[in-house]
């Protein structure tokens, strides 16, 4: 049996990435989910592009406000128009 360890929130910040890089280099992590609109995403991409053995996924999340007006997506937002 093989155990897969996945690193979550890769790209959240450059500092957060450092812990992920250590676990990849030590052979613990073989899969990770990247957050696309975060401060460390570009750094994560640069690091991971030379690691074809790492399975990369997309960590979906909702931050801030939707692209549509609050009136068009009332079930998703609070009174201030931000995601619930």
Mapping DSSP onto H, E and C, the string for 27-82 reads: CCCCEEEECCCCCCHHHHHHHHCCCCCCEEEECCCCCCCCCCCHHHCCCCECCCCC
Q: What is the pLDDT of residues 24-81, one digit of tens each?
A: 999 999 999 999 888 999 999 999 999 999 999 998 877 777 778 888 989 988 888 8
Q: Residue-wise over 40-61: b if at least 16 C-beta within 10 A, else e?
A: bbebbeebbeeeeebeeeeeee
What confidence score (pLDDT) does residue 30 get?
92
**Total-model pTM:** 0.70
Domain chopping of the chain, boundaries? 6-72
């Amino acid at each position: 049996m093989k155990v897969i360890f996945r690193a979550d929130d890769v790209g959240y910040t450059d500092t957060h990435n450092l812990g992920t890089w250590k676990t990849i280099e030590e052979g613990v992590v073989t899969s990770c989910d990247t957050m696309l609109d975060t401060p460390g995403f570009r750094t994560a991409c640069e690091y991971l592009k030379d690691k074809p053995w790492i399975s990369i996924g997309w960590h979906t999340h909702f931050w801030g406000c939707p692209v549509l007006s609050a009136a068009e997506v009332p079930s998703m937002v609070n009174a201030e128009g931000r995601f619930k």
